[in-house]
Structure 1
């Protein structure tokens, strides 16, 4: 493979001739990318998804580049206090594999018109991605405050958070200009919205701008005071009162999603169900573009164990089971290292692992403690359960759930809570689990992708029928799905009904089948792999983005 040379840094460069079907230049903006454990600047699903997209773009020889942020302290490093509860550590990161691209641009932030933004390049040959440019304000010549903007992913300080959007959006757009411009500008979620305002002023046409909305959650659809954003430099220039009124909604607010939907020629939601939910959410706002579904997916080459893949392709049950025991043991070595508990690879093992957020209900299994205790102490049908995931460092409700689980599981030999849920641990858990639990309140999970990579490795999904699951599920044949409850009911009632349904499903179907009908269980395992590949691989997704969104 040809390598990058100094002279190529500041031009649109790929180490391959783009394939004819993917020749259109696309710049993909995202606040986070989860590409490799060695490059831990992501918080969760959005990053994992974007990282898989960049890998598949490379595999398909797409004419795409990624634009992201170089977070000096990453998201945070998840550790433990003395009593094993959650501790958030902020450690400085050094990534020697990134190189200075030679591109430096300026953005205006608040009253400072000359904040420098430097672009570092991640060459395709490092991790097998399309070329990517990561932006930092930690640059010689910037004042102290400006240098700290790119310290923390999703900084809790409101003004810093707005500045981050400006750096990604306007700084990123200027970097793309320095690379010769793009034919399509794609915002992965609304964080980089200032790019659209800036590009519009530079004469970039509506049909060159596209947008992906990722969540129905209020916190994921940012909304801020229009006048304040104007003072911050959010729009790339100072808007007049009249111009501002045109952009504002909901009594003087800028809703990032609404603005993106108005400026883009087309947008996509991240599952078929999410497209319905999103259309309904934004239907009352005038001038928004069409929203189509392109279901999220993950990169098979990166996430699927090679031996498991081989045994599945050849339908070799014995070889599959042998490999499954090996990867379970590897996973359980991590459990032992963190919790001093010795798990048994022959015991049915459940995993609940993803970002810790209230609506995802990590503690749903503990809803009826009497019933749960009965389930975990059944000697005929033993089970092991492991939880992992990172709450947002200032989401104290989610942190409380995490710590409650830590305290509850301490004295239970077959339950464990792990810290450090990043790419490596995620992979171990997907390889080593028998069942992947997914328990969000219905309609709240736009897509969810952890269950896809779990299924690629033979872990059976037990899930609420939300996000991507309705497109995949054949209940009892490739996964197990809980009966749908009415999402309009009070949370209290939904949680009670879902918990009761979950206990029923586990006690009467899932657990007995694993022990009493292993042939049937193995059939479900292989069916899950058949049905998740290729439909829920990012190869399919990256193809669809070009055909349906970028075209």
Structure 2
């Protein structure tokens, strides 16, 4: 029983500043510098207290200050101009609209399903690269005018906040997030009632979820939330934590994001008039059950047979696999799948056909990646090399095919430029499509490289001191942190999630050689490491501890650091400032 809850009261804005609410809740501000700068200048101290979160900022600014801003003509004009700019951005034809004029058969909408979305650190609904890629996909789609609908879950505790013990062991804390304090809006029907997505659970129970909407520019992101009083405590906690809990928790989450996600999309489109998706994209195997829900729809509505429905679903499904090793694939015991896929979950969908879709070499296990591939007409890895690795991993699903004939292609991961590019780069080189007419000299490029590295060094020193204070050190003994790193030394970055298979400690295989590289008197290097291990993965935590203990050595601690609590805000400094990135 949850007796205590946190509530966030949103600010009442003066009429002249009312558009700030829309600007704050549409996440376009996170990659649109003029809007970002507006919020930063409204009240710089409140901006920092709010963690550079516009929604929190509006609650932090005192009423007297809001009145003062509302009386300032320049501020009011800027707010109105930016609101008009956002309104135009949301409706004006963009690249995709031009493409669709030339080819009307292009889909009117696309459903994009992912277990996590890293759109901005103010919406902490991600753990690592999978989520950040998904967030970048949404933002790039918005800029291009692609009619995506993002679908995921809203985790009340996000992933987790990471700190270190004195001996370097990872510690986790789980902040409680209030959706009212996030850039979200509840999906309601024409009568103003919240929409509930219902899923039949074993034992006659029903899992109910409400749907929150995030506006990622032009792209709606639908996030399902089971933390409602209609659910019993066990089901209420389904969306408690990202990648938390046991296998029962994981399969419930994946049923909710897949089956419940399709139902949420149907409700959203019916209420808003948004076109129904013609293509469904599953970002990794977690949401693969969406294909089964679509088979149920086609069997119940048009009355297609299972094989006819399967063929139709496959024709409109894309599957992206991210992991290069079997250990990264979700697998569930077959008996567990049978338990949850009782006749009431997907009426008309035979359980034996469901199990066949997830079959693998071990007859007692159900493989989510295998199901994703069998339900998709198109599949891809996330780099050319990863495509080749995936064809080798999954080639057995296409018996008789040579490895190079296995129908798994590749689309190399990219990033959303406006999110990750340092502003100084655009200032020097020009915006994409609008380069500066004058030539940029090598000296100017090198000066910029040095400036961005120096900014990272300042951030590293701040975070190292903060981390040691959290570990129990006292301020007087931390004077050495002011001399960590050097703005003139080659800087190497390594930051990612830390499961054992990603080999974080490969760099420590020859510690003497690493020490020599760090301390070379003529050409030293410095190394910044960051990443979180899953709370239940003691093996991954041991790897982090090994790195931390090496970096704690007074002889090298000015050249190698482990920064706890890796997130998007830290990643920007690393991306801007590192000279070399290890992967």
| Alpha-carbon distance in structure 2 between the residues aligned to 1:145 and 1:115 | 10
**CA deviation vs aligned residue, 1:108-142 (integer Å, no higher than 9, x gap):** 22224421111101123xxx361111111011211
User: Given the alignment, which residue of 214, 236, 259 partners 1:147?
Assistant: 236
With the length of structure 2 as denominator, give the TM-score of the two structures: 0.69
User: Given the alignment, which residue of 424, 439, 454 partners 1:329?
Assistant: 454
Q: Once structures 1 and 2 are overlaid, which stretch shifts more, 413-422 or 331-340?
A: 331-340
* CA shift for structure 1 position 252: 4.0
> What's the counterpart of residue 349 of structure 1?
491
User: Given the alignment, which residue of 564, 574, 577 partners 1:419?
Assistant: 564
Partner SS, residue 41 of structure 1: coil
Question: For 1:88-487, what aligned pairs fall within 5 Å after superposition?
Answer: 88-94=172-178, 95-102=181-188, 103-124=195-216, 128=217, 130-178=219-267, 179-180=269-270, 181-203=276-298, 205-206=312-313, 207-233=315-341, 236-237=346-347, 240=350, 242-243=352-353, 246-247=356-357, 248-250=359-361, 251-286=363-398, 290-312=407-429, 314-340=439-465, 341=481, 342=483, 343-410=485-552, 411=554, 412=556, 413-438=558-583
* CA shift for structure 1 position 193: 1.5
| Alpha-carbon distance in structure 1 between the residues aligned to 2:237 and 2:177 | 14
> What's the counterpart of residue 57 of structure 1?
141
With the length of structure 1 as denominator, give the TM-score of the two structures: 0.72
RMSD: 2.6
| Alpha-carbon distance in structure 2 between the residues aligned to 1:369 and 1:40 | 35
User: Given the alignment, which residue of 128, 146, 165 partners 1:44?
Assistant: 128
Question: For 1:49-88, what aligned pairs fall within 5 Å after superposition?
Answer: 49-88=133-172
Is the helix fraction higher in 1 or 2?
A: 2
CA distance 1:104–1:399, shift in 2 (3 Å): same
Partner SS, residue 132 of structure 2: helix
Contact between 2:454 and 2:577, CA under 8 Å: does it hold in 1? yes
| Alpha-carbon distance in structure 2 between the residues aligned to 1:366 and 1:173 | 46
CA distance 1:141–1:16, shift in 2 (3 Å): farther
Contact between 1:311 and 1:317, CA under 8 Å: does it hold in 2? no
Larger radius of gyration: 2
Partner SS, residue 27 of structure 1: strand
Partner SS, residue 262 of structure 2: helix
Which runs of no fewer than 5 residues in structure 2 stay unpaired? 1-18, 24-89, 101-105, 189-194, 271-275, 299-308, 431-438, 466-480
* CA shift for structure 1 position 271: 1.6
* CA shift for structure 1 position 227: 3.1
Q: Once structures 1 and 2 are overlaid, which stretch shifts more, 354-363 or 32-41?
A: 354-363
* CA shift for structure 1 position 376: 2.0
| Alpha-carbon distance in structure 1 between the residues aligned to 2:296 and 2:398 | 21
Q: Which has the higher contact order (CA 8 A, sep 6+)?
A: 1
> What's the counterpart of residue 87 of structure 2?
none
CA distance 1:111–1:290, shift in 2 (3 Å): farther
* CA shift for structure 1 position 191: 0.3
| Alpha-carbon distance in structure 1 between the residues aligned to 2:92 and 2:536 | 43
Q: Once structures 1 and 2 are overlaid, which stretch shifts more, 228-237 or 155-164?
A: 228-237
Which runs of no fewer than 5 residues in structure 1 stay unpaired? 5-13, 439-551
Partner SS, residue 520 of structure 2: coil
| Alpha-carbon distance in structure 2 between the residues aligned to 1:246 and 1:352 | 40
* CA shift for structure 1 position 326: 3.0
Q: Once structures 1 and 2 are overlaid, which stretch shifts more, 89-98 or 145-154?
A: 89-98
CA distance 1:238–1:160, shift in 2 (3 Å): farther
| Alpha-carbon distance in structure 1 between the residues aligned to 2:356 and 2:211 | 33
